[in-house]
Every structure is written in C-alpha cells, then in structure tokens.
Amino acid sequence: MRPPARDFKRRQRPAKEGEHKGRRQRIPRHTGGAAPVEVEVESLAWGGKGVARHDGKVVFIPRSVPGDKLLVRFTRVKSSYADGQIVSILRPSARRVEPKCKFFSHCGGCQWLSADYQSQIEAKEKLLRDALRHHLDGAELLPVVPAEPPHGYRHRGEFHVYPTGDSVKIGFFQEESHRVINLDTCLLFDAAYNNRYQELRSALKDEPSARTLESVTVDRSESGETYALHFRLHHGGTREAEALCRLAESLQFNGAIVTTASDSAKTLCFSGTTWTTYQLLASETGASKDFLLRADARGFTQAHYAMNKKLVGGALAWLSLSPNERVLDLFAGGGNFSLPMASLCRQVIAVEGSPIAHQDAVENAKNSGTLNVVNLRGDASEQSRLLASAGELFDVVVLDPPRSGAKEALPHLARLAEKRILYISCSLPALDRDLAILKTLGFKAERVQGWDMFPQTYNLETMVLLSRIS
C-alpha cells in the first residue's frame, strides 16, 4: 500500500537526473556539453567539497582531496563558481586514502572519507580560522581536539525508510537528495552496532508495517549492552505501531517507541526501556562527582561518547566555576553540561524547549541527587526575556544551540550575563553571525577551540569563551 495521496509529496518517487523535484533539488544550468577540464584541488570547504579554480571560477568538487589533480565535468555553472564531478583522478593527492566503503561514491554521510585524518583536522582548523577571522583578534586560538577514535565512533543513527515493490529501502540519504541508499553497513559505527542494525534491517524488509515508516533511530548505551529504537510513522496508526513494537521485542531490543513523524511527543506505542545511558565521570570531566545520564531515543545527544566527555571537561576547565557562582544554561538538553556544572557552583538554571529532553533533565537531576539545578521548560529566547525582565543576573551564561544558532535569544544576554558567556556551536556560519551580534552587545571572544565530534565529515563543534568588554 502506498502512502495516502495527501502525503504523497513527501514520499514521491526520487527524481531522475535533470527532473524537477521541488525547491530542494539543484537544477544544473546547461553546460553546453563542454568537455571535462583539468583542475587541482586546493582546499576543503564548509559543506564538504574540495575547492579548485578554473578560468577565474571557483569549482566545488565532492569527494576530492587537497592535492588531487582531477579531470572534472561541470554539473552546474554560475557567474563566479561552478560545481564539478570527478571524471577521473589524474594524479591522486598524497593525502588521499582508500575510502573502504562501497557507498562512498553516492552517500551523503561521510564527505571526507577519502582524506587522511590529519588532513581533515588541518582542514577544520582552516575552516574555523576563516569563518571566525573577524572575532579572533586578541583571542587565544587553540588547536582542534582530534577524535578518538575517528572511525566506528557513533552510537546513534537515524535511518530513512522508503517503500519499494513489496519491501523497503533503509539507509541514509544520497548526497544532496532525498533518495534513500539501501545501506547494510557503515564505517561510522562499530561491528557490534552494525550487526544489530543488520538484524533490524532484515526484519523490517519483511514487515508490512515498515512501509508506513519515515525513519528509525537506533541508539546504543555507552556500555554497549542496551539498544533503544525510535520508529517515526509517515502514515498509519496504532495497529502498525504495535506491530513494530512486537518486532523490536522479538529481536530482543531493550526498548522501542513509535511516534508520528511530525511530532515525536505523540506516542502511538512503546515497550521496554526507551532510553539509553552514558556516564560523565568526575575523573574525566573535572566535576565533583560522577553522573549517569539517561537519554530518550527520541531526543538529541552527541553521537561520540568519548568526545562528549572531553567537551564537557573542556567547558568546566575553561569556566573554573567557584562555589558562589550562578549559571544560566540555555538549550540545556538532558543535563549534559548543567549537572556537572551544578556540582561546582551555587546554582544552575537550565532551559530546554524540547519536552522530551526536559523530562530527561528532570529525571537526571533527581537520580543524581542534584538539588541546585532548576529545570525550566520553554523557548530559550522567551525564557531569557522573562529572566531578564525579572532582574536575574548570572556569573556565566552557557549556550549550546542547534545548528540554526541562538540569534533570537542573544539580545537578552547583555542583561543576564554579568561576566562571561560560553558558546558551544556545531555550525561555523551561525556562530560567526552570533559572535558579531554579541560583540555589539559588549562581549568579545577570549578563547576559541574546535572539537572534532564528527570525524569523516566537514562538521565541527566549536567552543568560544567570551567576556564582557570593560
């Protein structure tokens, strides 16, 4: 059975090359059948593509490595730049490595798998310097913290589902497309995770209710012993949801929850334990005690447990909190930063908009016996406005927003942050914009560092400590 007609736009047949597929698809400008050209890749850009030049144009080339000499065919041409596709590698870069992934040529997941890891770190340092160049004057710029390990590190993956024939495709999206790659294994996950994913994938291909799915998230606890699933239904209802929960139980997953794709808070069915756990040990973070945090399968957590510990430890070291200080933690999630900070200071006010993450934060504070955290549920901008209107003042404001940044909340921070702001960002363009706003509000960057939470991709977590300009 195909999706209902009213939802067909979201699940339509993938467009063939050159077909129009709505606003998301790039429509190449006619290139006139021009012959391929030779270029040499100079660097890597935000977004993951290599950068070369030809006849005064910047050329962006996916899956290329600095130092590659390539024969490239233009797929899109504009006045000042072009997109290119590799026809052949004339001379491979000394930094090029064998991707060892049969999906690399078309998967949108790992843009830099063909570049050696040191090249990736160097590229990310350059991206950081270039993106934040207007904010680095007088700031201490520290080297990017490399990932350990750079492969097999993810504990969480969202796999898209697309009905085809009598079965389904399950995997990641193709590059710059909503076509689903029928993925059976991924180098970003270790062998144990891949084995469990393959068991689930095999069962879903024969499960009629899987045809109602939009995606499924597979999350594993840090101990590696428990897995929780989050099924998102594109259409269908309780009958399909119950069938998926029974399937998860038959495969001995520890828990599963089924929601609509449009609202993860709308539960249709659940079974078992629908969250995973991870530790933040005092010896690793600098907190005054250990924490065991739960994370709902529907929520967000950093996908690299080991690097997350380093990031939390870095934040606490930079802040060097004293027992009499108060902290405001915006976009607080389940307490990843707020709980360790609370062990070192007088009070933390933690603000989180997601009802799922907020519930995790409440439970994590309760289970850890942390009494000096006040968890507020609500939009960060609105809660900041209310706190500022009430005359609240904090020694430190910490914010870890989503990729879109924190633009709407920033105007209130000038009234809330007495001394310092710690901004943690996964988007350099959004961070550049928000640092410029904070500068107009009287804050300057004191220390900047990148953390490679996402090896094999262009993504970078960046932490910036700002102080009030005297």
Residue 33 pLDDT grade (very low, low, confident, very high; cuts 50, 70, 90):
low
Of 444, 440, 432, 437, nearest to 469 by C-alpha is: 444
- The whole-angstrom separation of Cα 189 and Cα 157 is 9
Q: Are strands 69-77 and 140-145 parallel, antiparallel or unpaired?
A: unpaired
Higher pLDDT, 350 or 470: 350
pLDDT of 311 higher than 60: yes
Active site residue 345: no
Structural domains present in the chain: 31-107 (2.40.50.140), 132-149+300-468 (3.40.50.150), 156-272 (2.40.50.1070)
pLDDT of 22 higher than 50: no
For the segment 30-39, the average pLDDT, to the nearest whole number, is: 74
For residue 145, what are its two tokens?
Answer: 């913290």
DSSP state of 102: T
- The whole-angstrom separation of Cα 411 and Cα 152 is 40
For the segment 193-221, the average pLDDT, to the nearest whole number, is: 97
- The whole-angstrom separation of Cα 298 and Cα 276 is 11
Q: Look at residue 207 in the predicted model and tell me its pLDDT.
A: 95
Q: Look at residue 165 in the predicted model and tell me its pLDDT.
A: 84
| Residue type for position 78 | K
**191-199 long-range CB contacts below 8 Å, 24 or more apart?**
191/152, 192/224, 193/154, 193/155, 193/157, 193/218, 193/220, 196/220, 196/227, 196/253, 197/157, 197/159, 199/251
Q: Could you count the other beta carbons within 10 Å of the beta carbon of residue 174?
A: 17
For the segment 354-374, the average pLDDT, to the nearest whole number, is: 98
For the segment 128-151, the average pLDDT, to the nearest whole number, is: 97
- The whole-angstrom separation of Cα 117 and Cα 97 is 9
User: Quick check: 276 and 295 in contact, CB under 8 A?
Assistant: yes
User: Quick check: 334 and 301 in contact, CB under 8 A?
Assistant: yes
- Lowest average pLDDT, out of 28-32, 265-269, 357-361, 450-454, goes to 28-32
In the chain, the N- to C-terminal Cα span, in Å, equals 66
User: Quick check: 63 and 88 in contact, CB under 8 A?
Assistant: no
Of 93, 100, 55, nearest to 74 by C-alpha is: 55
Q: Look at residue 177 in the predicted model and tell me its pLDDT.
A: 86
Q: Look at residue 27 in the predicted model and tell me its pLDDT.
A: 33
Residues 77-103: tens digit of each pLDDT:
999 999 999 999 999 999 999 998 999
Alpha carbon 382 to chain centroid, angstroms: 24
State residue 208 phi and psi, 5-degree precision: -55, -35
Q: Look at residue 421 in the predicted model and tell me its pLDDT.
A: 98
- The whole-angstrom separation of Cα 379 and Cα 354 is 8
For the segment 354-371, the average pLDDT, to the nearest whole number, is: 98
Q: Look at residue 386 in the predicted model and tell me its pLDDT.
A: 98
- The whole-angstrom separation of Cα 93 and Cα 169 is 35
- Lowest average pLDDT, out of 16-20, 79-83, 260-264, 417-421, goes to 16-20
Within 290-367, where are the H helices? 305-319, 338-342, 355-367
Q: Could you count the other beta carbons within 10 Å of the beta carbon of residue 322?
A: 10
| Cα-based angle 29, 459, 413 (whole degrees, multiple of 5) | 110
Of 465, 385, 376, 395, nearest to 424 by C-alpha is: 465
DSSP state of 23: T
* Residue that is written with structure tokens 């697309």 in the block: 162
